[in-house]
A and B are shown apart, each in its own frame.
Chain A
Amino acid sequence: MIESMLVFGLVNSAVLMLLALGFSLTFGLSGVANFSHGGIYLFAGYLAYFLLKMGLPYFIAVVLTIFITALLGAAIYKLIVIRVRGIVLNEVIATFAIGICMLEFFRWLGFVTYEYSLPYIARGRFTIFETTLDYQRSLIIVVALLLAVFLWFFTHRTKTGLALLGMAQDEYTALAVGIDSDWAATYSFAIGGAFAAIAAVMILPLGIININIGYEVLLIALAVTVLGGLESTKGLILACIILGYAQVITSTFFAPHWKEAVYLAAILIVLAVKPSGLLGKFKELEERV
């Protein structure tokens, strides 16, 4: 009982983290809250489905999906967001509109039946701590960890990453030392898209592809980002672990459908106690409250 809760809590946390990383990354680096994250996520899911259906080998289809979704992210910035950049409200409305357009368009196309699902990367299961775990779920944990490490390495050790980080901290200073703001933002949207695609390829095989997942993914990304505090990868991981385990606990001891209410409760409690998020580093009143 306890063991299975521990293991599935970990799986849950990893799922949340995969879903939130792309959103949080774009937000952290370009300052634009990409409300079309859910739409991009499902786009990647359907793209992978159709590429596989065309008979492409799994590996090539996945790489292609990630690449095309990254291009989509960049295109969203280059074509639309760039025109409303700086007006926060308009950024939110524009990306929100893009997301809704994509999701409802998929719904209209009728992508809602049971045939739409992605294959497992690896079938089979093994037993650990007296809990049976399938390879897909354990892979999710590994990929989530790898992405987090990659993210840290990218933003702290590579030139591009450092430039983006500088951009996030002070746009004007970064401009003054010769970093192109639009280039950086396009880059961050592209990486956000790629992360969403990785998440889609990893997580969607666990169930069927459903339009409402798109809205849910956006909610999860928001909940995790608000909860963990911006700018803080550690906060993100902590928030995922808290939410992941809170979900497992509520669905074990109460009822499974209550776990959705966990997000709201967690956000409300954390915001009431510490408005800058769990590990937010901002000067509290100056920035967010």
Chain B
Amino acid sequence: MKNKELLKVTGLSKSFGGVKAVNNVSFTLYEGESIGVIGPNGSGKSTLINLITGFIKPDSGTVIYKGRNITGIAPNRAVNLGIARSFQMVRPFYNMEAYKNLIIPLYSPRVKKQLQGGNFGDRDEIAIQLLEDVGFERESQIPYKLTGSLPHGYLKRLELARCLCLEPDLVVLDELFSGMSMSEVASTVPILERILQEGRDMIMIEHRIRELFRIVNKVICLNFGKKIAEGTPEEVMNTKEVKEAYLGSEGESIA
């Protein structure tokens, strides 16, 4: 017995100057599920996410979200429907204090109009609380520091906090763990687990397979823009194509 479909991607393709970055990828995300996307570098993972969240318009294929066709939708409208994303390369507002970064998503129509009580309350206070939730210490000066002066791990968590501001139904994380230290990863995993428990769905691109498999219950593997495997983590890792993609085929290694 499956839950309702939250996101259904069919035949998504995009090419840049002749290179097929994403080639005919389809998958379905049911409510209460979380999907991990793995694959070697340059296999089209980030492009896939950009296609889903509207940052790049697909050449062909459809994205259905909550029964509604959102193919090629403007990114800000996708956010207001409840799809929040983080960037692989952090994109904070470097010239502001860290907590002010969160004022911008808190000012969005989704928070202001759609969420109950969104237009009330002190945005500064909410922002600082959210930063505390993702692991900024409350008493310290860190939330008040200029964003440009923060270390990379904090910027990554700031990205996460910016997603959480929006109270999203679907969280899309693009290599959240890359650039974090081991201890930061260890402290971030419970935060992600809590997000799932709150009933939000998640799509995660990740290279840290062990932490990824702890969080998600379904994995998609991409290679050269094509989906080469889908299923539970164990199933995917035992697929021949996936092993070849990561380790090279045996024929190659002999040659």
- Which of A's residues lie within 8 Å of B, judged by CB? 281, 283-286
Closest to A281 in B: B17
Interface residues on B, range: under 10
> What 0/1 pattern do residues 38 to 62 of B give for CB contact below 8 A with A?
0000000000001000011100000
Judge if B120 is at the interface, Cβ distance under 8 Å.
Answer: no
The docked-state distance in angstroms from the alpha carbon of A204 to that of B139 is 70
The docked-state distance in angstroms from the alpha carbon of A35 to that of B148 is 31
Can you name 9 A-B pairs with beta carbons within 8 Å?
A281-B16, A281-B17, A283-B16, A283-B56, A284-B56, A284-B57, A285-B50, A285-B55, A286-B55
Closest to B55 in A: A285
Q: Inside 8 A of A284's CB, which chain B residues have their CB?
A: 56-57
A281-B16, A285-B50 given; name 7 further pairs at CB < 8 Å.
A281-B17, A283-B16, A283-B56, A284-B56, A284-B57, A285-B56, A286-B55
**Interface of B, helix, strand, loop or mixed by DSSP:** loop
The docked-state distance in angstroms from the alpha carbon of A285 to that of B76 is 13
Q: What is the distance, in angstroms, from A281's C-beta to the closest C-beta of chain B?
A: 5
List the 3 shortest-distance A-B pairs measured between CB atoms, nearest first.
A281-B17, A285-B55, A283-B16
Q: Inside 8 A of A283's CB, which chain B residues have their CB?
A: 16, 56
Q: What is the distance, in angstroms, from A170's C-beta to the closest C-beta of chain B?
A: 15
Q: Inside 8 A of A281's CB, which chain B residues have their CB?
A: 16-17
The docked-state distance in angstroms from the alpha carbon of A281 to that of B15 is 11
Q: What is the distance, in angstroms, from A233's C-beta to the closest C-beta of chain B?
A: 14
Which residues in window 202-243 of B have CB below 8 A to A? none
Closest to A280 in B: B17
Q: Inside 8 A of B17's CB, which chain A residues have their CB?
A: 281
The docked-state distance in angstroms from the alpha carbon of A284 to that of B16 is 9
Q: Inside 8 A of A285's CB, which chain B residues have their CB?
A: 50, 55-56
Q: Inside 8 A of B50's CB, which chain A residues have their CB?
A: 285
The docked-state distance in angstroms from the alpha carbon of A261 to that of B131 is 52
Q: What is the distance, in angstroms, from B52's C-beta to the closest C-beta of chain A?
A: 14
The docked-state distance in angstroms from the alpha carbon of A285 to that of B56 is 6
Closest to B17 in A: A281
The docked-state distance in angstroms from the alpha carbon of A285 to that of B73 is 13
The docked-state distance in angstroms from the alpha carbon of A284 to that of B50 is 12
Q: Inside 8 A of B56's CB, which chain A residues have their CB?
A: 283-286
The docked-state distance in angstroms from the alpha carbon of A269 to that of B55 is 22
The docked-state distance in angstroms from the alpha carbon of A283 to that of B59 is 13
The docked-state distance in angstroms from the alpha carbon of A143 to that of B192 is 63
Q: What is the distance, in angstroms, from B11's C-beta to the closest C-beta of chain A?
A: 21
Q: What is the distance, in angstroms, from B136's C-beta to the closest C-beta of chain A?
A: 29
Q: Inside 8 A of B57's CB, which chain A residues have their CB?
A: 284
The docked-state distance in angstroms from the alpha carbon of A227 to that of B120 is 46
Q: Inside 8 A of B16's CB, which chain A residues have their CB?
A: 281, 283
Q: What is the distance, in angstroms, from A169's C-beta to the closest C-beta of chain B?
A: 12
